[in-house]
């Protein structure tokens, strides 16, 4: 029985409900009256249900798809302005006891060298990341209770936060590690993590069991209920995602929105972010072995529909995608991107991009300076802001900020001040020139005069060497 409030995986992600939803979507894909009324509802910016959004996904009428794209763009502008939050993944260890058939870290892969960073190596990686200008990381690790126990992860988090190299600092560590216990989530929260990210990979249980044939990740319910345990452990910013390409995208899309609805129904707060990874080539992994790959066009449609279905949820895209596609989906709703990522364990401290321990091929291989420059030239503000979580604005408190329209008086100046730090400490000459112009223009857009004055003053202080201002 479908029940969004239930804490049982198969009740809040209910297979029959998804099949009914897909049937309903198919039956109504040419029902323009219904489709128009759903788009009208989305225009109210309060989101859509999985059923409504699935009808729009099935719709193939070009004029209506265009209307969806325009609305996604508008919602993106209204809620997130032109800010794009920057982050980098940090791979701690590729030891893994799971058998995920799409992931090069799977236990049976004997060709990939196994590596786990020592604390000294973590320090080197973090200094390399700080020297690029990063302030926000997502740590990644395989699941291995012996090699990467929770104590190891916690120690790495401590090390990361403790490093202050030149003007550098990692101010927010998001965590992407395997599903764990309430107690371990509590310990992660106490260690000061930002978002807990866990991709569902696929919501389709039978496929899930086949794609995760061995190891603790085989347990579909334990994995699917992980976000509930994270919430119970006190983590109220959680990040969802599916690995597109494993199963039929329409099934995954309905599952993803049902998961968001479940978190809202059971805990009163939806997901903080949704990631949209697609399967990539990797050691021992051939993406063509997975026959549900999606075209760039469908991918863009999915991003636009996520944007209008969950307007308050940030959307993340990684360097799995090319510059061209990133450009397109940033316009349609993506609010966070990684830059200059290396997906190998210990990859940042090396001069050359190493490939041996990589988790997947990186499409966008530009430096952070190039990505920052590119974003600014396209009219975006690359933001290194980490203020919300440091001010305790997580979970529903962050949502309240969004809903009260205070983003322009809060996130906007924070973005500009952290960009200014980046320009002062890490940017190339050209990037700095482009950035200074952008800041001068954007600072005038702060609606509250008092806030504007403080922000201008802070910018001057940053210029004279002070750091870390925030609203
Ligand atoms: N080990 C943790 C887990 O199982 O959830 C999380 C870390 S794992 C390094 C991060 C994510 O990478 C996985 O959740 C999966 O979606 C993604 N991934 C694995 N293999 C991939 C591939 N070949 N291409 C793209 N993404 C992949």
By C-alpha distance, which of 368, 331, 428 is closest to 135?
368
- Cα distances from 398 to residues 83, 165, 273, 425, in angstroms, run 16, 30, 12, 29
141, 175, 176: residue to mutate for ligand 1 pocket, most atoms within 8 A of CB: 176
Report the 10 Å Cβ neighbour count for 444: 8
Task: Give 105 Cα–ligand 1 centroid separation in angstroms.
Answer: 9
Task: Give 369 Cα–ligand 1 centroid separation in angstroms.
Answer: 26
Q: What is the DSSP letter of 221?
A: H
Task: Give 359 Cα–ligand 1 centroid separation in angstroms.
Answer: 8
CA 285 to ligand 1: nearest atom: 23
Residues in contact with ligand 1 (CB, 6 Å cut-off): 102-103, 140, 142-143, 176-178, 198-199, 201, 217, 243, 277, 279-280, 282, 285, 320, 359-360
| Residue 372 Cα to chain centre, angstroms | 18
Report the run of H or E that residue 5 belongs to, with start and end.
none
Give the Cα separation of 331 and 77 in Å (integer).
9
By C-alpha distance, which of 317, 342, 99 is closest to 211?
99
CA 94 to ligand 1: nearest atom: 9
Q: Are 179 and 129 in contact (CB under 8 A)?
A: no
Task: Give 301 Cα–ligand 1 centroid separation in angstroms.
Answer: 23
Task: Give 250 Cα–ligand 1 centroid separation in angstroms.
Answer: 20
Exposure of 357 by Cβ count < 10 A (0-12 exposed, 13-18 middle, 19+ buried)? buried
**pLDDT computed for residue 350 by the predictor:** 87
**pLDDT computed for residue 354 by the predictor:** 87
CA 242 to ligand 1: nearest atom: 16
Give the Cα separation of 53 and 451 in Å (integer).
38
Give the Cα separation of 458 and 385 in Å (integer).
14
| Tokens of residue 64, six digits | 């209506």
- Closest residue to atom 21 of ligand 1, CA basis: 103
Task: Give 104 Cα–ligand 1 centroid separation in angstroms.
Answer: 9
Q: What are the residue ranges of helices labelled H in 137-247? A: 150-162, 182-190, 205-211, 220-224, 226-232
Q: Which long-range contacts (CB under 8 A, 24 or more apart) does 430-433 make?
A: 430/373, 431/369, 431/372, 431/373, 431/376
Give the Cα separation of 464 and 424 in Å (integer).
10
Task: Give 305 Cα–ligand 1 centroid separation in angstroms.
Answer: 23
- Closest residue to atom 5 of ligand 1, CA basis: 178
Task: Give 103 Cα–ligand 1 centroid separation in angstroms.
Answer: 6
CA 243 to ligand 1: nearest atom: 16
Q: Are 470 and 412 in contact (CB under 8 A)?
A: no
354: Cβ–Cβ under 8 A, 6 or more apart, which residues?
A: 342, 344, 346, 347
Give the Cα separation of 443 and 434 in Å (integer).
14
359, 360, 363, 364: residue to mutate for ligand 1 pocket, most atoms within 8 A of CB: 359
Report the 10 Å Cβ neighbour count for 361: 16
- Cα distances from 462 to residues 162, 167, 187, 311, 384, in angstroms, run 22, 11, 35, 33, 14
Task: Give 128 Cα–ligand 1 centroid separation in angstroms.
Answer: 23
Decide: helix, strand or coil at residue 317. Answer: strand
Task: Give 72 Cα–ligand 1 centroid separation in angstroms.
Answer: 27
pLDDT in tens, the chain (471 residues): 999 999 999 999 999 999 999 999 999 999 999 999 999 999 999 999 999 999 999 999 999 999 999 999 999 998 889 999 999 999 999 999 999 999 999 999 999 999 999 999 999 999 999 999 999 999 999 999 999 999 999 999 999 999 999 999 999 999 999 999 999 999 999 999 999 999 999 999 999 999 999 999 999 999 999 999 999 999 999 999 999 999 999 999 999 999 999 999 999 999 999 999 999 999 999 998 988 889 999 999 999 999 999 999 999 999 999 999 999 999 999 999 999 999 999 999 988 888 888 988 899 999 999 999 999 999 999 999 999 989 999 988 887 887 777 888 999 999 999 999 999 999 999 999 999 999 999 999 999 999 999 999 999 999 999 999 999
Give the Cα separation of 253 and 251 in Å (integer).
5
Give the Cα separation of 180 and 259 in Å (integer).
18
Q: Are 4 and 265 in contact (CB under 8 A)?
A: yes
| Tokens of residue 142, six digits | 């395989």
- Closest residue to atom 19 of ligand 1, CA basis: 103
243, 281, 361, 362: residue to mutate for ligand 1 pocket, most atoms within 8 A of CB: 243
211, 277, 321, 363: residue to mutate for ligand 1 pocket, most atoms within 8 A of CB: 277
Task: Give 156 Cα–ligand 1 centroid separation in angstroms.
Answer: 20
CA 223 to ligand 1: nearest atom: 5
Q: Strand 273-275 to strand 83-93: parallel, antiparallel, or no bridges (unpaired)?
A: unpaired
């Amino acid at each position: 029985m479908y029940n969004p409030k239930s804490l049982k995986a198969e009740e809040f992600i209910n297979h029959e409900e998804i099949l009914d939803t897909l049937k309903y979507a198919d039956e109504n894909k040419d029902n323009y009256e219904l489709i128009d009324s759903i788009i009208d509802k989305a225009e109210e910016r309060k989101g859509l249900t999985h059923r409504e959004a699935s009808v729009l996904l099935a719709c193939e009428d070009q004029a209506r798809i265009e209307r969806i794209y325009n609305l996604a763009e508008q919602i993106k502008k209204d809620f997130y302005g032109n800010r794009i939050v920057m982050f980098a993944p940090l791979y701690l260890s590729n030891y893994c006891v799971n058998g995920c058939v799409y992931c090069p870290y799977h236990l049976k892969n004997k060709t990939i060298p196994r590596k786990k960073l020592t604390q000294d190596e973590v320090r080197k990686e973090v200094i390399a990341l700080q020297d690029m200008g990063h302030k926000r990381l997502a740590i990644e690790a395989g699941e291995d209770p012996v090699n990467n126990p929770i104590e190891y992860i916690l120690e790495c988090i401590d090390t990361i936060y403790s490093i202050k190299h030149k003007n550098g600092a990692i101010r927010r560590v998001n965590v992407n590690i395997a599903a764990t216990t309430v107690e371990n989530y509590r310990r992660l929260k106490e260690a000061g993590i930002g978002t807990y990210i866990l991709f569902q990979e696929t919501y389709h249980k039978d496929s899930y069991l086949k794609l995760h044939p061995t190891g603790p990740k085989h347990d579909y319910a334990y994995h699917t209920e992980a976000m509930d345990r994270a919430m119970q452990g006190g983590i109220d910013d959680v990040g969802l995602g599916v690995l597109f390409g494993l199963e039929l995208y329409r099934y995954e899309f309905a599952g993803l929105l049902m998961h968001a609805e479940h978190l809202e129904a059971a805990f009163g707060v939806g997901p903080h972010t949704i990631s949209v990874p697609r399967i990539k080539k990797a050691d021992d992994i051939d993406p063509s072995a997975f026959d549900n790959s999606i075209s760039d066009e469908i991918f863009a449609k999915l991003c636009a529909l996520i944007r209008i279905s969950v307007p308050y949820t940030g959307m993340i895209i990684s360097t799995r995608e090319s510059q061209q596609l990133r450009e397109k989906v940033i316009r349609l709703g993506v609010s966070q991107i990684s830059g200059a990522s290396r997906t190998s364990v210990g990859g940042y401290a090396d001069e050359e991009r190493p490939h041996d321990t990589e988790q997947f091929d990186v499409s966008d291989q530009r430096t952070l300076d190039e990505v920052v420059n590119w974003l600014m030239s396209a009219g975006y503000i690359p933001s290194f802001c980490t203020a919300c979580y440091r001010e305790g604005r997580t979970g529903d408190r962050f949502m309240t900020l969004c809903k009260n329209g205070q983003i322009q008086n809060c996130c906007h100046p924070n973005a500009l001040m952290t960009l200014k730090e980046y320009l002062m400490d890490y940017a190339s000459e050209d990037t700095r020139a482009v950035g200074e112009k952008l800041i001068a223009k954007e600072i005038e857009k702060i609606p509250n005069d008092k806030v504007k004055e403080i922000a201008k003053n802070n910018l001057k202080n940053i210029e004279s060497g002070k750091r870390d201002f925030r609203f």
